[in-house]
Amino acid sequence: MARSGIPRILWRWRSVAVAGDSMAPTYISGDWLIVRWGGRYKVGEVVLVEREDRPGVFLVKRLVRIDDGEFWVQGDNKSSSTDSRQWGAITSKEVLGKVVFRFRKARSVTSI
Q: Does residue 109 lie within any of the structural domains?
A: no
User: What pLDDT tens digit does each residue of the chain (112 aa) get?
Assistant: 344 455 555 568 889 999 999 999 999 999 999 999 999 999 999 999 999 999 999 999 999 999 988 999 999 999 999 999 999 999 999 999 999 999 888 776 555 5
Q: Does residue 43 lie within any of the structural domains?
A: yes
Q: Does residue 110 lie within any of the structural domains?
A: no
Is residue 111 within 8 Å of 105, Cβ to Cβ?
Answer: no
Q: Does residue 20 lie within any of the structural domains?
A: yes
Q: Does residue 71 lie within any of the structural domains?
A: yes
Looking at residue 88, its pLDDT comes to 96
d(CA 9, CA 55): 25
CATH number, residue 79: 2.10.109.10
Helices (H), the chain: 8-11, 84-87
Looking at residue 99, its pLDDT comes to 96
d(CA 44, CA 6): 31
Give residue 52's domain range: 8-104
Q: Look at the chain and report how many structural domains it folds into.
A: 1
d(CA 107, CA 18): 12
Looking at residue 103, its pLDDT comes to 87
Q: Does residue 26 lie within any of the structural domains?
A: yes
Q: How far apart are the first and last CA of the chain?
A: 52
pTM here is 0.83
Q: Does residue 35 lie within any of the structural domains?
A: yes
Q: Does residue 65 lie within any of the structural domains?
A: yes
Looking at residue 12, its pLDDT comes to 83
